[in-house]
Structures are given as structure tokens and as C-alpha cells.
């Protein structure tokens, strides 16, 4: 019993309207006559017009319910006419989009004022009054809370799907390179060999946790505030349960004062988006480092890396750098929402109108970053020879030699000291572990057998880390397979939602 409105692209995609000074005088549903400077400051239609689908959807659910719960106030025939009028107003806005000439200070006022005109044109002499009954038992406070929740729910879903696409691109690369040697770093210093697949899979894991946080934000969002009216509820015997079912909400809010002033769901979405953006920024930083001449581990595709206007040899990872940069603005939106909420006396305050631009920009920014990085990851090509060489560089298999001695019965700390001495000598004479002979190795400790050097190759080092979560190619392949199944299951679960 959901409400289907045709058209209406994602609200994430639409932009602000032109500046209010171009729009003439806007109406209010309250009949207020504010000074133009004040009005230009307080009116929100320029950005909240993009809630038009959510606002009309909420009003249709409300009027259908009124016809059932209070038919003496809202005759069913009038409800049908109002729904048709709302659909007409919706289609009109959808067709006009950025060229919309609003007549109300916010989207709620615009839809209501326009509905009254549309109904009056269709039912001369009584249409205006018909439209004036729509707001029965409702306030803009619970109305806007409902609209923003409907929007946030969609935004969570869209961002989740954009995450799945990036996860799939990552897992495709990770699966193909489950066994490709790659240098592993701590402190950006050569540490131990890993596989490129293992490194990439780390990001699939971060994104999996991001989806669980988005899921929590979605659940926090999916509670119906409508019916709370201004702050205290309404005197009409409305059926909030019916509205909840129509709009696909899991529950109705339990406290009207909380419901009109609660923006936790917005903060949760911004928090989930911030952590996500931190992960994307790390991925962007890794790609940027890998592609430097100094690291030289990957080649960037011209599908996303741009040239320089002066240096012909350059291919710059602009989309990755922008992701690093734009992380700051998403974190800023989270901060903004927290501060907006923290000093708000109960209940609604106009402060809350300022949740929207932060939310809209958060969703647009993270979805944009996800999409750009999906292209980037899908086109990354590893330089295998260079990656193999760097994987073993810097005595990266020294730990494997120490572990060898431990298997021969030597306490780890003792083995560590033996190998440290050995590595210090190699740093002094400029040779590597691979340059040593078995006899030379034994001069450091007689626990080193003839097979010790074989344990210190990159291939052996990788294969030896054969534990859950380890970088052994077989383990990486298993982890990637498991992640693929998890992504498929999560995608199916999110697709099945409202
Ligand atoms: N544009 C307002 C907002 O976004 C709508 C609610 C106004 N309510 C009020 N009581 N002034 O919050």
C-alpha cells in the first residue's frame, strides 16, 4: 500500500534553486509578512524544494488516513480529490525542476499553497477550502521531520548501493590478485610482504562495516514522527499506524516532543558517512602513493587520472585527491549537525531547518566519491615486477627468519636479536638476506638449517601466513569469496527494503 509517484530522480542529484532575490515574494501558509531581508534569510525553499517527492508522499499518506480515521472532517471524496491535486503539484514540480518558480517559503508551504490553487481551479468555489483541510491534525514540525526521514532513508539506501559497487570493484581486483606479491608497510616503511589482493581486501572490510553503520542509521530513521503535530500530539483520533504502513516505517514515535525535535538519525547518517569518507580518503591516499614515480606500484588509467596543463608526462590522481579533500567537508557536516542539536531547548526550533543542506551535501559528496573511486579501482593496473621487487626489499622477510629459529626451539626474543644482528650487518655491507649462503646464516646461529633461506623468500613468507585473516594467497582467495557472498546478501537485503 505504498505510494508510487512517477519520475522524480534521486533527490541527491538535484541542485539548489537560483537565489531568492530572483524569485519575487514568496507566500507563507501562516500569512506572515516579513521584511524581505528576514525572509531571504529564513526561507528554505531554495534548498528544501528537493524534498518535493517526500513532502507529497507524506501528504498523500496523511490525507488517505484522515479519510479513514476522521471521515466527518475529511470526507473520502475530498481525500481522493486532494490526492489527485497533490499528484498534479508533484508532476508540475518534477517537470520544472531547477526552473521551478516557488510560491512558498519552504517546500511544505509551496505544495500546500499550490494545491489550494489547483483544487480551486478544478472545483471553483470549494477547492480552496478542500485544500485547507489537508493540514488537519498536522504541523510543519512533524511534517518536515517526516519528509527528512523519508529522504534520509532513500539516501542511506543509495549510498549503500554505491558502496556495494565499490566493494565489487575492489573484490574483483583483490580476487584476481589474491596471490600477487606487494610490499606491506607500517610507518610507511617496508615491513613484510603481503599480496595486493590482501591489501585491497582490507578496504572491502572497512566498507562492510560502513554498511552496518548505514544500516543502523537507516533503522534510526525508519520511525514515523507524523502525528506528533506541533509538539503535543493532536486532538483528532488519527491512525498513525496506517500512515506508518503506507510510508513503510517500522514504527511510530513514542513521544511527540522527542519526535519533532529529534535529528539523531541525521547525525547517525552523517557519522556513518564521515567514517566511510575517512576510509575512502585512506584508499585515495594509498592509490596516490602507489602511483608516484617513487613507489611505482600501479599505473593509473586515463579514464580518471588527468594530465597536467604544463607537464606533458603527468597523469594526476585528481579524483583521489579530491576525495581526500572532500572528507573534510563531510566531517564538517557531522560537526554542524551535532552543534545544531546540542543546545536546542525542547522542542522544535527553527535551528533544525539547517539540517538539510548538511545532509544533502553529505550524501552527494560520499556518493560522488564512491562512484569516482569505483572507476579508479576498476582500472588500476599493478606493475608486477616492481611490486615483487619492493615486496622483498628492505629485508622484509627478516621476521620469517626469526620465526624459523622459533620453530627450531629458540625463544622468539632471542631469535629476534639474532636476526637483528644479521640485518644490521647486511645494512652495513649493502647485501640482502637472499645474497647470503646457508653457512653464513649458520654463523649467526646454529639453529639455521639448509632450508632457512628458502623460508625467507617472498613466496614462502606469503604462503606461511596461512591463518584466518592472513595474507597467504589461499586465505586471501577465501576471504574475497566470503566478502563476495556478504556483498550479494547485503545488496539483496537493501534492495528488498522500502
Ligand atoms: N522549513 C521549516 C524546517 O525546515 C519547516 C518547519 C517550520 N516550522 C515552524 N514552526 N516554523 O524546519
Helix (H) / strand (E) containing 95: helix 76-96
At 203, list the grid cell: 578496504
Atom of ligand 1 nearest to the CA of 106: 1
46 CB contacts (<8 Å, ≥6 apart)? 16, 17, 18, 19, 20
List all residues 6 or more positions away from 75 whose beta carbon is below 8 Å from its beta carbon.
67
How is residue 383 written as a grid cell?
606493475
Verify that 347 and 358 share a domain, yes or no: yes
Q: In sequence order, what E strands does 156-302 have?
A: 181-186, 189-195, 223-224, 251-252, 298-299
Treating both helix axes as pointing N-terminal to C-terminal, what angle do 264-290 and 196-221 enclose, rounded to 10 degrees?
170
Domain end: 115, 136, 157, which one? 136
CATH of the domain at 59: 1.10.275.10
Q: Which atom of ligand 1 is nearest to the CA of 348?
A: 10
Residues 340 and 417 in one domain: no
CB of 106 closer than 6 A to ligand 1? yes
Pairwise CA distance, residues 57 & 60, whole Å: 5
Both 302 and 170 in one domain: the answer is: yes
Q: Is the CB of 261 under 6 A from ligand 1?
A: no
User: Has residue 41 been placed in a domain?
Assistant: yes
Residue 312's pLDDT is 83
| Nearest in space to 6 (alpha carbons), one of 79, 64, 91, 85 | 91
The three three-digit cell numbers of residue 495, written as one number? 534492495
> Mean pLDDT by 10-residue block, N- to C-terminus, for the chain (498 residues)?
81 81 70 82 94 97 98 98 98 92 94 98 98 98 98 97 98 98 97 98 98 98 98 98 98 98 98 98 98 95 85 88 97 98 97 98 98 96 97 96 98 98 97 96 97 97 98 98 98 91
Q: Is 1 part of a structural domain of the chain?
A: no
Give domain status of residue 4, yes or no. Answer: no
User: Which CATH number covers residue 429?
Assistant: 1.10.40.30
Q: Do 105 and 146 reside in the same domain of the chain?
A: no
Cβ-based burial of 315 (10 A; exposed 0-12, middle 13-18, buried ≥19) = middle
95 and 220: one domain? no
- Verify that 59 and 151 share a domain, yes or no: no
Atom of ligand 1 nearest to the CA of 44: 1
Cα of 348 vs centre of ligand 1, distance in Å, is 8
Tell whether 6 is covered by a domain.
no
DSSP for 30-79 reads S-----HHHHHHH--HHHHGGGHHHHHHHHHHHHHHHHHH-TTTS-HHHH
Residue 179: name the closest of 384, 452, 378 by CA. 384
d(CA 181, CA 353): 52
The predicted structure's pLDDT at residue 429: 96
Number of structural domains (the chain) is 3
Same domain? 99 vs 222:
no
Is 340's C-beta closer than 6 angstroms to any atom of ligand 1? no
Centre of ligand 1 from the C-alpha of residue 367, in Å: 27
Distance from the alpha carbon of residue 140 to the mean position of ligand 1, in angstroms? 6
Q: Which residues are known catalytic residues?
A: 187, 308
Distance 22 CA to ligand 1 centre (A): 22
Which of 106, 230, 259, 356 to mutate for ligand 1's pocket (most ligand atoms within 8 Å of CB)?
Answer: 106
Whether the CB of 229 sits within 6 Å of ligand 1: no
Domain with residue 315: its CATH number is 1.20.200.10
The pLDDT value given to residue 261: 98
Q: What cell was used for 155?
A: 539516501
Distance from the alpha carbon of residue 125 to the mean position of ligand 1, in angstroms: 30
Quick check: CB of 44 below 6 Å from ligand 1? Answer: yes
- Reading the block at residue 476, the C-alpha cell is 586471501
Residue 201 CA neighbour count, 13 Å, CB half: 28
CB atoms within 10 A of CB 305: 19
Q: Using the atom order of ligand 1, give the atom closest to the CA of residue 355.
A: 4
Domain span including residue 351: 141-389+479-497
Q: What angle do CA 42, 141, 333 make, to 5 degrees?
A: 60
* pLDDT tens digits along 220-267: 999 999 999 999 999 999 999 999 999 999 999 999 999 999 999 999
Give the pLDDT score at 21: 65
Cell 524569485 sits on residue: 23
Same structural domain for residues 115 and 215? no
Residues whose CB falls within 8 Å of the CB of residue 226, separated by 6 or more in sequence, listed in order: 58, 61, 62, 138, 142, 143, 145, 146, 240, 243, 247
- How do residues 299-320 score in pLDDT, each as one tens digit? 998 888 888 888 888 889 999 9
Residues 153 and 195 in one domain: yes
21 and 94 belong to one structural domain: yes
**Does residue 282 sit in the same domain as residue 169?**
yes
Question: Does a structural domain hold residue 2?
Answer: no
CA of 146 to the centre of ligand 1 (A): 12
The CB of 372 under 6 Å from ligand 1? The reply is: no
SS3 282: helix
State which of 113, 136, 159 marks the end of a domain: 136
DSSP-assigned letter for residue 99:
G
Ligand 1 pocket, residue 109 CB under 6 Å: no
Check if 350 has its Cβ closer than 6 Å to any atom of ligand 1. yes
Residue 55 placed within a domain = yes
| 5 inside domain | no
3 within a domain of the structure (yes/no)? no
Same domain, 217 and 117: no
Amino acid at each position: 500500500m505504498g505510494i508510487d509517484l512517477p519520475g522524480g530522480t534521486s533527490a541527491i542529484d538535484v541542485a539548489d534553486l537560483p537565489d531568492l532575490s530572483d524569485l519575487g515574494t514568496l507566500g507563507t501558509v501562516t500569512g506572515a509578512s516579513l521584511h524581505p531581508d528576514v525572509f531571504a534569510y529564513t526561507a528554505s525553499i531554495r534548498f528544501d524544494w528537493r524534498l518535493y517527492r517526500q513532502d507529497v508522499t507524506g501528504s498523500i499518506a496523511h490525507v488517505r488516513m484522515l479519510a479513514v480515521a476522521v471521515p466527518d472532517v475529511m470526507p473520502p471524496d475530498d481525500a481522493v480529490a486532494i490526492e489527485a491535486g497533490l499528484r498534479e503539484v508533484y508532476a508540475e514540480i518534477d517537470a520544472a525542476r531547477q526552473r521551478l518558480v516557488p510560491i512558498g517559503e519552504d517546500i511544505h508551504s509551496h505544495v500546500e499553497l499550490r494545491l489550494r490553487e489547483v483544487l480551486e481551479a478544478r472545483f471553483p468555489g470549494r477547492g480552496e477550502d478542500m485544500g485547507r483541510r489537508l493540514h488537519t491534525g498536522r504541523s510543519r514540525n512533524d511534517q518536515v521531520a517526516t519528509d527528512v526521514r523519508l529522504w534520509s532513508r532513500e539516501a542511506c539506501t543509495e549510498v549503500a548501493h554505491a558502496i556495494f559497487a565499490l566493494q565489487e570493484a575492489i573484490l574483483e581486483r583483490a580476487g584476481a590478485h589474491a596471490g600477487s606479491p606487494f610490499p606491506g608497510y607500517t610507518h610507511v616503511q617496508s615491513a613484510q610482504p603481503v599480496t595486493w589482493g590482501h591489501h585491497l581486501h582490507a578496504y572491502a572490510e572497512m566498507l562492510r562495516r560502513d554498511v552496518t553503520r548505514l544500516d543502523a542509521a537507516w533503522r534510526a530513521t525508519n520511525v514515523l514522527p507524523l502525528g506528533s503535530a506541533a509538539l503535543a500530539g493532536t486532538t483528532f483520533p488519527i491512525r498513525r499506524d496506517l500512515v506508518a504502513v503506507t510510508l513503510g516505517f517500522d514504527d511510530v514515535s513514542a513521544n511527540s516532543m522527542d519526535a519533532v525535535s529529534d535529528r539523531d538519525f541525521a547525525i547517525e547518517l552523517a557519522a556513518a558517512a564521515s567514517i566511510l569518507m575517512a576510509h575512502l580518503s585512506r584508499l585515495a591516499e594509498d592509490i596516490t602513493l602507489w602511483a608516484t614515480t617513487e613507489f611505482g606500484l600501479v599505473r593509473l588509467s586515463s579514464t580518471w587520472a588527468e594530465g597536467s596543463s604544463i607537464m606533458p608526462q603527468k597523469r594526476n590522481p585528481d579524483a583521489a585527491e579530491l576525495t581526500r579533500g572532500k572528507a573534510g567537508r563531510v566531517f564538517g557536516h557531522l560537526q554542524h549537525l551535532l552543534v545544531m542539536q546540542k543546545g536546542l531547548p525542547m522542542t522544535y526550533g527553527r535551528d533544525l531547518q539547517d539540517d538539510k543542506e548538511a545532509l544533502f551535501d553529505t550524501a552527494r559528496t560520499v556518493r560522488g566519491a564512491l562512484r569516482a573511486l569505483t572507476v579508479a579501482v576498476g582500472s588500476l593496473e599493478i606493475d608486477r615486477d616492481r611490486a615483487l621487487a619492493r615486496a622483498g626489499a628492505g629485508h622484509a622477510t627478516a621476521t620469517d627468519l626469526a620465526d624459523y629459529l622459533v620453530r627450531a626451539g629458540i625463544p622468539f626474543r632471542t631469535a629476534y636479536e639474532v636476526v637483528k644482528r644479521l640485518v644490521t650487518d647486511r645494512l652495513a655491507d649493502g647485501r640482502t638476506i637472499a645474497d647470503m649462503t646457508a653457512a653464513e646464516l649458520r654463523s649467526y646461529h646454529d639453529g639455521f638449517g639448509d632450508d632457512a633461506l628458502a623460508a625467507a623468500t617472498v613466496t614462502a613468507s606469503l604462503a606461511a601466513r596461512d591463518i584466518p585473516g592472513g595474507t597467504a594467497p589461499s586465505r586471501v582467495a577465501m576471504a574475497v569469496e566470503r566478502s563476495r557472498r556478504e556483498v550479494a546478501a547485503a545488496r539483496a537485503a537493501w534492495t528488498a527494503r522500502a
